[in-house]
Each structure stands twice: as C-alpha cells, then as structure tokens.
Amino acid sequence: MIKNMKKIFLSVLVMTLVLTGVFPFSKNVAQADTSAEKIQDKLDDLLKKQKEAQAELAAEQSKLYKNKSQIAATQALMKSLEADIKRQEEELGNLNDRAESNKTMLAEYLRQIYYTDSADAVTELAMSDANLDELSSGYDRMVDIKNKISDAIEVINDAKTEAQLAKEKLADQNQDTKQQLATQQVQQSQIVDNIQDTQSDIADLQKKFAELQSDLNKLLGSNYDAKDIKDAVKYASDKTDVPVGFLVGVLKMETNLGANVGGCTYAQVEDGAEANYKKGKLGKTAWNTFQARRKTFKAICDELDLNYQKQKVSCNPSGYAGTGGAMGVAQFMPDTWNAYKSQVSSVTGHDNPSPWNLTDGVVAMALKLSRTPGVTSGKESAFRLAAKYYLGTSYKPYIDGIIYWSKHYKDLI
C-alpha cells in the first residue's frame, strides 16, 4: 500500500514538474516539432512551386524552339519571294526590250508602207524591172508583216501586264511576310524574357528552399555521411529524384566511380598552367579564368582548413588547351562548386560542405544534373542534354558511355 502511494506521488510530482516547466525539455521538444512541421510545410509548398516553375520553363523553351523554327521558315519564304520578284523584274525588262525592238521594226515597216503607198505606181513600175503583180505582192507582204508585228506587240504588252501584276502580288506577299516576321521576332523577345524571369524565379525558389532545408536540418540535427559510393548515390537520388542509373553513368565516366578524383596537386596544376600560358598554348582568356578560379579554390581550402597547394585535383589536360583543378568525385571547378554549395549543405546537413566529401560531391552532381528538364523523369534525351551541359561539350564517346552505363549500372554497384 505504501509502495503504491509512493508511485502515485512520484507520478503526480513528475507531471506537476513537467506542467510547471521545471522539465523544460518537453516544451522545447514540442516547440521543435511544431517548428519543424511549419518548415516542412513551407518546403513542400516551395517544392510544388518549383515544379510548377520548371514545367513553365519547359513549356516556354518549347515555345521558343517552335518560334525559332517559324522564324527560319518565314525568312526562307522571304528569300524565295525576293528571288521571285527579281525574276519578274528581269522578265519585265526582257519584255520591254522585245517591245521596243518590235516598235522599231513596226515604225520602219510603216515608213516603207507609207512610202510605197504614196509613190506613183506607174512611175515605180516604169523605173523597176518588176511587173505590177510583183509590186502589189511586195506591198501586201509589208502590210502582213506590219500586222504580225502589231500582234506581237499586243501579246508582249499583255505579258507585261501579267508580269507586272505577278510582281505586285509577290511584293504584297513579301510585305505581309515581313510583318509576320516582325511579329514572330517580338514574340521571340517576349518568350526569352519569360524564360529569363522563370529561371530567376526558379533560382530564388531554390535559394529559399536551401535556406529552409538548412534550418530544418539544424533544428532536427540532420547530418548525413554515406558509407560508400553506392550509399551516396542512393542518398543523392532520393533527395533529388535523379535516377540512380544516370548518376552511376556520370560517375563512371567522370571518375570511375570515385577511383580517379585527381592525380595532381594543385601546385602542379599551377605550374603547368603557367608554363602553358608562357608557351602560348593557353590563351589570355583561359589564363584569366584560371587565375580567378585559383582565388576561389584557395578560399574553399581555407574554409576547410586545407593546404590548397597539396590538395589533389584533376591534372592539366594534355590533349587540348585547358587547365586542371576539378575537385572531388563530382569534378566541379571551384566557381561551379560555390554555386551549389549552399544547396548541398541544405541536403546533407553539413554546415561547411566539401567537394572532396563523398556525400557532398555526389549530391552536388545530382543537383546540377537535376536542373535539366526531363532528367528526373528518366528521359534518355534529357540524360544526353544534361551530360552535354555537365561536360561542357558534345563529345559523343563520353555521352554514349554515360547512357550505356545508366542502363547497365547494376553491373557496377
């Protein structure tokens, strides 16, 4: 009985302490849960808006493609019409020449007819060897030729009228086509503006999403590190909706699934870039880009407390003019990494993500690939386009390799 009384007393005491705030952690947990729910609701709303914006962007890009095709067709039509107008002008010129020639001939024959008609037929007959029948026959031939020339001139004039009407019709059609082209070009400008606005909206949504996700991760204490490449790929795919196969394909071609993330120190890359610049193998623009990236690379290493000169990165390419310096499993250049760093942090929960961290690197790769419309839906055409953007070139063996391994990824992991 006494034991039961003690239990009841202790239960009441604990409840009282909780209710009065002596045990504040219960209140904090409840508040944290409420805050997390609110943040998650906002994240869901932002994600919905982002998908709507992506759909709108894809629709506008489709409009732009159609508009460009229409403009190309209109310009081709204008070119054809202008060629037809030129041909009509040439035809009119030829007809004018023929008409003038026939008029000259007609004038000559009229003069001869007038001369023959005015002359004394008896005197003509006496002065010539011809008889009266021959003289009459020659006169009739001249009259007949005159009539034929008159008929020819009439035919030519009719042809000129038709050619002039055809030219005017072509000119009217060409003017209408010019107005159509001007309208299409205005539409293109509007579409481009819409695309830029939508891209800006998407960037803002992604930034807000990253900030809220970071807040949520901090609130819930989320911090994830994959144990291997397979785990990192699955995690990144779950977070970004980029198919596992496509991620594996890109990773296979970029770094052989993380086996080749950099064979040179950054100091070696610096020396190689400078040597190529002095030899003229590296242009001024490329050298300036390298210097800007070197500054960014140093800042990244400083934040991670790393010696930038000893850090392993991709080597300077030997087959083409360029510089090394790509970092980690994603092979991002420093400026590209900075563009995705906050988003990576919001996903992995790492306050200061690293391009050499397996989880951060694969997530960064997935985030970049997910920006191409159609990738998260698993469309091969979207895979090819995203791979092209990722590499920065349309190098076919690279892209074909990614597509192959995206279909046979289970043979790798």
Let me know whether 237 and 133 are in one domain: no
Does residue 27 sit within a domain?
no
Boundary of a domain, candidates 183, 218, 253: 218
Let me know whether 199 and 281 are in one domain: no
Let me know whether 139 and 240 are in one domain: no
Counting every residue written for the chain, the total comes to 413
Amino acid at 51: K
Residue 122 near residue 207, CB atoms below 8 Å = no
Let me know whether 137 and 240 are in one domain: no
The CATH number assigned to the domain holding 91 equals 1.10.287.1490
- pLDDT for residue 106: 63
Tokens of 277: 């610049």
- pLDDT for residue 166: 77
Boundary of a domain, candidates 174, 195, 218: 218
Let me know whether 193 and 273 are in one domain: no
- pLDDT for residue 24: 39
Let me know whether 169 and 253 are in one domain: no
Residue matched to tokens 């090394």:
324
Helix (H, G, I), strand (E, B) or coil at 390: helix
Does residue 30 sit within a domain?
no
Does residue 400 sit within a domain?
yes
Does residue 392 come out as left (phi exceeding 0), alpha (psi in the -120 to 50 range) or beta? Answer: left
- Our count of domains for the chain comes to 2
Let me know whether 260 and 158 are in one domain: no
Instruction: Please report, in tens digits, the pLDDT of each residue of the chain (413 residues total).
Output: 444 444 444 444 334 433 344 333 344 444 545 677 787 788 788 888 888 888 888 899 889 999 999 999 989 988 888 888 888 788 778 877 776 776 676 666 666 666 555 544 444 444 455 454 554 555 566 666 667 666 767 777 777 787 788 778 888 888 888 899 899 899 999 999 999 998 888 888 878 877 776 677 666 546 788 999 999 999 999 999 999 999 999 999 999 999 999 889 999 999 999 999 999 988 999 999 999 999 999 999 999 999 999 999 999 987 766 789 999 999 999 999 999 999 999 889 898 999 999 999 999 999 999 999 999 999 999 999 999 999 888 999 999 999 999 999 999 98
pTM over 0.75: no
Let me know whether 247 and 295 are in one domain: yes
Tokens of 413: 């992991």
Let me know whether 402 and 262 are in one domain: yes
Does residue 16 sit within a domain?
no
Angle between helix axes 284-303 and 334-348 (nearest 10 degrees) is 30
- pLDDT for residue 393: 85
Boundary of a domain, candidates 179, 203, 218: 218
Let me know whether 404 and 360 are in one domain: yes
Per-residue H/E/C for the chain: CHHHHHHHHHHHHHHHHHHHCCCCHHHHHHHHHHHHHHHHHHHHHHHHHHHHHHHHHHHHHHHHHHHHHHHHHHHHHHHHHHHHHHHHHHHHHHHHHHHHHHHHHHHHHHHHHHHHHHCCHHHHHHHCCCCHHHHHHHHHHHHHHHHHHHHHHHHHHHHHHHHHHHHHHHHHHHHHHHHHHHHHHHHHHHHHHHHHHHHHHHHHHHHHHHHHHHHHHHHHCCCCCCCCHHHHHHHHHHHHCCCHHHHHHHHHHHHCCCCCCCCEEHHHHHHHHHHHHHHCCCCHHHHHHHHHHHHHHHHHHHHCCCCCCCCEECCCCCCCCCCCCCECCCCECHHHHHHHHHHHHHHHCCCCCCCCCHHHHHHHHHHHHHCCCCCCCCCHHHHHHHHHHHHCCCCHHHHHHHHHHHHCHHHCC
Does residue 10 sit within a domain?
no
Does residue 4 sit within a domain?
no
- pLDDT for residue 39: 78
Q: Rounded distance, CA 170 to CA 164, Å?
A: 10
Q: Rounded distance, CA 71 to CA 133, Å?
A: 73
Does residue 256 sit within a domain?
yes
Range of the domain at 238: 222-411
- pLDDT for residue 45: 86
Does residue 244 sit within a domain?
yes
- pLDDT for residue 228: 94
Let me know whether 242 and 176 are in one domain: no
Amino acid at 119: A
Let me know whether 330 and 242 are in one domain: yes
